[in-house]
Structures are given as C-alpha cells and as structure tokens.
Amino acid sequence: MASIYVVDDDTVIRSNLHDYLELEGHEVETFSSGEDALSRLDKDTPDVMLIDLKLPGIDGLELLEKVKVTSQLVEVIIITGHGDISTAVQAMKLGARDYIKKPFDMDEISLIVHKTQSARKIDEHLAYLHKEEQVRMGFGEIIGTSDAIKTVFRFVQQVAESPKTTVLIRGETGTGKELVARAIHNTSERANKPFIEVNCSAFQETLLEAELFGHEAGAYTDAKQRKKGLVELSHEGSFFLDEIGDMSLGLQSKVLKVIEEQVFRRVGGTKLISIDTRIISATSRNLEQLTSKDKFRQDLYYRLNVAMIELPPLRDRGGDITLLAEHFVRVYNAEFKRNIRGILPEVKQKLISFKWPGNVRELKNVIERAVLFEEGEYISFDSIRIIDNAHGAQSSDFLSEKDRLIENLTEEGISLDEVERSLIEKALDLANGNQTKAAKLLSISREKIKYRMKKFGIQS
Ligand SMILES: Nc1ncnc2c1ncn2[C@@H]1O[C@H](COP(=O)(O)OP(=O)(O)OP(=O)(O)O)[C@@H](O)[C@H]1O
Ligand SMILES: [Mg+2]
C-alpha cells in the first residue's frame, strides 16, 4: 500500500480519488493547489503523487519539477485533460512515471498506481544492488543497468505476477531470450514447479509431436509403454517453446489448442488431458512475415503475442557491454582458474563500438577466449582478437572465416550443406569432440549441433 498525494483543483475529482484510493487501502491526502502540496512536502514525502496539469497557481509541470528537486523518490503520475498529450510527454521527460487522461475510470487509476509501485520497487532494488557494487539482478543472473534492460526487468516482474499469461520473447540471436524465459518462471509463483523447454528446430515434426505430447502404448511399433510428453511434465510449471517460428503448421494447431483450451491428446490416444501450464515462447524470426507467407498460423500468433517483449540487441545497451564483459572475465577467471584483473580501457572502447551481431553470446565467447589466451594481467587487443576494418564489424576468427567462405562462393556454386558439415566437423575437432564446446564455437545451441550431426551422419 502506498501513501498518495492528490493535487487537483476540481473538488469532485479530488474527493472521488480520495475515497476510491482509500478504499483500495492507500493512505491519501488531497490538495487543491501546488503551493499547498509543496508546503506539505516540506514535512513529509509520499510514495506517489497524482498531479493535475492545470492548477490555479503554479501549474502541474512546475510542481513536478519542484517535487523532483525535493525528492527523487516520489513517483509522479500526471493527470491531463483532453488535448494535453504533448505536455504530458514533456512531463514524462521531467521525470513523471506515467500519465492518465481525463476522463478516467477508477480502475485505470488503480492499475497505474499499481504499475508505478512495481516499477519503483524494481528501481529501488537496482539502486540497492548498485550500491552494493553488485549488478546481478535477482532475475536469474541477467546483468545490466541500461534503460533498455531495465524495461526487460520490469516486463519480467509484471508477467511473473500473472502466472497464466502466455509470453512471447523476441530478439536477435544471443540476446538472452532463454535467460529471460527462465527468469519469468523463477520469479513467478510457479518457480518450484518444473520449467520444461523444448527447441522446436531441433526435431522433425513427428518426433517433436511425441516429445511434446507423449504417446499411448502401441502408438508406434516400438512404443511399448505409455510415455508422458513434455507438456504434461510441465504441469503447474512453465513450458518454454524455443524457436517457435520453426514449428510446423500441424503442430502449431495442437499447441494452439493447449493455449486456448488447456487440453491435449497423447499420440495414439483419444482421451483429452487437461493441463495447467504457462507457455513461454521465443523466436528470433519475424513472425509477422511468416504469418503473411502462411508459414505461421495467425490465430496462434495472436495467442502467443498477449504479452510480448523484444530483447534489445547488445549494441543498444551502452554501458552494459563493459559490465557484461567484466562479469564474464570473473566467470571465466573462476572457471579456468586464471587471475585476469580486468580489461584495458582501449579494449573496452572497442567492445562498446563493436556491433555484436551475435549479441551477449558472442561477447561471452570473445571474453572466454580472451581469458584463456591473455598473457598479461589485463585483457588486451592481443587476446581479444577484434580485427579492425573499414566497416568496424569484425570480431573473432569465425567472422573472418565467414568472409572467406563468402569469397569462395563463385558462379560455380557451393554446397551449403557441405560447408555446414565441414564447419561442424572442424568445430568438433577443435573442441576435442565436446559437443557443447563445438556448439559454442559455432554460436549455436547444443540441440542444434546434435540435430545437424544427425542430419549429416557425423559420429559423436
Ligand atoms: N543480460 C545478460 N546477463 C548475463 N548473461 C547473459 C545476458 N544475456 C545473455 N546472457 C548469456 O548469453 C548467452 C546467450 O543467451 P540466451 O541463450 O538466453 O540467448 P538467446 O536469445 O536464447 O539466443 P538464441 O536465439 O541463439 O537461442 C547465455 O550464455 C546467457 O547466459
Ligand atoms: Mg535461445
């Protein structure tokens, strides 16, 4: 519950807000002018202030500025009249958390106050962590303090609070989609129930169906016993469908049924089984485009898209880049029993200006190698292997490898499968047969490398 000051010269609005918010359990004081409110602020600070833009003496914007000077901690919500939107935007720039348009329902007010409070809680938590020189969030090791990542934290917090809402996570490869999916599960009330994930691109359709929904005895020739599917195992927990854009149309309609009716059938079964699970899906593909090409069901797209977050690419996260790089130095120091003390400033500068097409995963890989190979105390250009060129978009050996491959494509053609196959073989070689490491070298998941090894008949 919050302490709230309402500043509005309209008696009716004032008393309505007072009564309603008090009923909701808040502590409410009302003021008919900015001056009155300010003199009260000398003695006490509320959690939230609802301020009307048009006030008789000093106006809402001026009051907002003064409030923010007195205390950064007061959350301000601006009440605007019709046609005042540009002023409302200005208010947001001056530090208001949100605004609401007149006329409004009390429900809206309640929602906005609630939102403000959870946003505030997160900010306080961040500030606390910062003070402690800790930048790890409670959200399952998601590192970052940029505005871009804070928006992600807020989203995680909000959807964690509604444990039935279907969530869609979008973003370029390596931006942390899986990490965010786990964070949502771990901060929700489903946290101590299973988090089950399946990578839709790692299986063929029929295999995936059996994986997802299980089968009855006798469903296939070698299905001697009933087997529970992954959906069923996620009962009361969360079900993470990674790379949902790669799922076949047939399976899409079955997944749609799970979302819409919370039921499914095992393969070879007739009985409908009910399930209570939260579906979290992720994709780096453009679902709208797939939908327009009839490769993705529109109805499923709408269902998945109820709560959507787009993870920002690493290059848009400013200072997070060095924060993450230093974090990974600590991680790999521990893993490789090394004692690298940090990163040279000029290298940091380079890291910040680099475009990071593979995002956090790529940065992690670059630092992993650097920690392994650095011979000095600090990570230098020698170990980081960022090759400077006119486009400024080169890192690690693999990108130059990529360029070399592209060079090799002439009019005579080249077999993509063969290239892929040799790359996988080489990566496995370099990693001494360790599939996880080989997958890392190729910036793909372990499932993906397994799938491809199977496809090309590469022995593990
Ligand atoms: N903000 C972050 N803080 C710390 N580690 C991160 C962060 N974001 C991503 N990572 C790490 O980067 C790697 C890639 O993240 P993740 O697998 O979640 O990405 P993704 O978006 O699912 O990638 P893909 O689309 O390729 O599946 C993981 O090792 C993850 O732990
Ligand atoms: Mg992923």
Q: 């530090």: which residue's tokens?
A: 95
Residue nearest to atom 9 of ligand 1 (CA): 176
CB-CB contact of 445 with 199 (8 Å)? yes
Sign of the four-CA dihedral 444, 448, 452, 457: positive
Which atom in ligand 1 lies closest to the alpha carbon of residue 175? 21
pLDDT reported for residue 131: 43
Ligand nearest to the CA of 179: 1
Angstrom distance (rounded) from CA 102 to CA 77: 13
Residues 6+ apart with CB under 8 A from 446: 435, 436, 439
Give the pLDDT mean for 422-441. 86
DSSP string covering 357-382, please?
TTHHHHHHHHHHHHHHH--SSEE-HH
Average pLDDT, the chain: 86
Give the closest residue to 357 by CA, choosing from 174, 178, 179: 174
Residue 270 confidence (pLDDT) above 80: yes
Residue of 60 and 204 predicted with greater confidence: 60
Q: What ligand 1 atom has the least distance to the C-alpha of 169?
A: 21
Residue 201 and residue 203: Cα distance in Å, rounded?
6
pLDDT recorded at residue 347 = 93
Report whether pLDDT(389) > 60: no
Question: What pLDDT shows up at residue 173?
Answer: 93
Proportion of the chain in helix, strand, coil states, percent, rounded to 5: 50, 15, 35
Amino acid at 40: R
What is residue 337's predicted lDDT score, i.e. its pLDDT? 84
CATH superfamily entry for domain 147-310: P-loop containing nucleotide triphosphate hydrolases (3.40.50.300)
Share above pLDDT 90 across residues of the chain, in percent, rounded to a whole number: 49
Given a cut of 70, whether residue 139 has pLDDT beyond it is no
Q: Which residue has the higher pLDDT, 103 or 364?
A: 364
pLDDT at 204 > cutoff 90 = no
The pLDDT value given to residue 295: 92
- At residue 125, the pLDDT reads 62
**% of the chain at pLDDT higher than 70:** 90
Best probe residue, ligand 1, of 324, 360, 364 (max atoms within 8 Å of C-beta)? 360
This prediction's pTM: 0.60
Ligand 1 centroid to 449 CA: how many Å? Answer: 17
Task: Give the number of other Cβ atoms within 10 Å of residue 402's Cβ.
Answer: 13
pLDDT value for 391:
39
Q: In this predicted model, what pLDDT tens digit does every residue of 24-35 receive, in sequence order?
A: 999 999 999 999
| Distances, alpha carbon 161 to alpha carbons 47, 91, 151, 389, 419, in Å | 21, 28, 16, 47, 46
Question: 314-397: which CATH topology?
Answer: Helicase, Ruva Protein; domain 3 (1.10.8)
Does 171 contact ligand 1 (Cβ within 6 A)? yes
pLDDT at position 312, please?
96
217 pLDDT above the threshold of 60: yes
Nearest CA, atom 8, ligand 1? 176
* pLDDT at residue 387, as a whole number: 42
For ligand 1, atom 28: residue with the closest CA: 361
Are 456 and 417 a contacting pair, CB within 8 Å?
yes
Is the distance from CB of 343 to CB of 325 less than 8 angstroms?
yes
Residue nearest to atom 15 of ligand 1 (CA): 176
Helix (H) or strand (E) holding 274: strand 273-274
pLDDT score recorded for residue 344: 94
pLDDT band at 240 (very low <50, low <70, confident <90, very high): very high
Q: Is the CB of 436 under 6 A from ligand 1?
A: no
Euclidean distance between CA atoms 453 and 447, whole angstroms: 10
| Confidence (pLDDT) at 402 | 62
Q: pLDDT at position 356, please?
A: 92
Ligand 1 atom showing the smallest separation from residue 444 Cα:
26
Over range 447-454, report the average pLDDT.
87
Residues 170/146, Cβ–Cβ less than 8 Å: no
In the chain, domain spans: 3-105, 147-310, 314-397, 409-456
Q: Which CATH architecture has domain 409-456?
A: Orthogonal Bundle (1.10)
Say yes or no: CB of residue 284 within 6 Å of ligand 1: yes
CB 7 within 8 A of CB 52: yes
Look at 116-130, 180-194, 343-357, 428-442 and tell me which has the smallest mean pLDDT: 116-130
Q: What CATH number was assigned to the domain covering residues 3-105?
A: 3.40.50.2300
Is the model's pLDDT at 364 over the cut of 70? yes
For residues 210-229, give the mean pLDDT. 82
pLDDT at 397: 40
- Domain 3-105 and domain 147-310, same fold? Reply is yes
Q: Is the predicted pLDDT of residue 121 greater than 80, yes or no?
A: no
Q: Which residue is closest in CA terms to ligand 1's atom 13?
A: 361
Cα–Cα distance measured from residue 133 to residue 135, given in angstroms and rounded to the nearest whole number? 6
Query: Closest ligand 1 atom, CA of 363?
Result: 12
| 144 touches ligand 1 (CB under 6 Å) | yes
Residue among 139, 315, 361 whose CB has most ligand 1 atoms within 8 A, to mutate: 361
More confident residue, 17 or 456: 17
- At 162, is the pLDDT very low, low, confident or very high (cuts 50, 70, 90)? very high
Q: Which residue has the higher pLDDT, 282 or 421?
A: 282
